[in-house]
Amino acid sequence: MNPSVIGVLAVQGAFREHIQILEGLGVRAVEVRKPEQLAELDGLIIPGGESTSMALIAERWGLVEPLRRWVHSGKPTWGTCAGMILLAEQAVGQKQGGQALLGGLDVTVNRNYFGRQIHSFEADLAVPALGDPPFRAVFIRAPAITETGERVEVLSEINSEEADDAVAVAVRSGSLLATAFHPELTADTRWHQLFIDMVEANQT
Ligand code: GLN
pLDDT digits (tens, 9 = 90+) for 42-90: 999 999 999 999 999 999 999 999 999 999 999 999 999 999 999 999 9
How far is Cα 104 from Cα 28, in angstroms, rounded to an integer?
25
In ligand 1, the atom with minimum distance to the C-alpha of 115 is 1
The answer for residues whose C-beta is within 8 angstroms of residue 179's C-beta and 6 or more apart is 78, 79, 80, 81, 84, 137, 169, 170, 191
Distance 25 CA to ligand 1 centre (A): 26
Residues of the chain with pLDDT under 50: none
Q: If we measure between CA atoms, which residue out of 16, 8, 139 comes closest to residue 76?
A: 8
Is 119 considered catalytic here? no
pLDDT of residue 202: 95
pLDDT of residue 15: 97
Cα 94 to its chain centre, rounded Å, is: 17
pLDDT of residue 2: 75
pLDDT of residue 164: 62
pLDDT of residue 61: 96
Out of 18, 81, 157, 192, pick the active-site residue.
81
pLDDT of residue 165: 72
pLDDT of residue 163: 60
Give me the domain span that covers residue 166: 5-203
Distance 111 CA to ligand 1 centre (A): 7
Q: If we measure between CA atoms, which residue out of 80, 106, 111, 83 comes closest to residue 96?
A: 111
> What is the total count of domains within the chain?
1
Out of 17, 18, 157, 182, pick the active-site residue.
182
- Residue 51's Cβ-side half-sphere holds a number of Cα atoms within 13 Å equal to 32
CATH number, domain containing residue 72: 3.40.50.880
pLDDT of residue 183: 97
pLDDT of residue 166: 87
pLDDT of residue 95: 64
How far is Cα 65 from Cα 72, in angstroms, rounded to an integer?
10
Which of 51, 78, 109, 139 has the most ligand 1 atoms within 8 A of CB, as the residue to mutate? 51
pLDDT of residue 3: 86
How far is Cα 163 from Cα 158, in angstroms, rounded to an integer?
10
Is 81 considered catalytic here? yes
Residue 144: its H or E element: strand 144-148
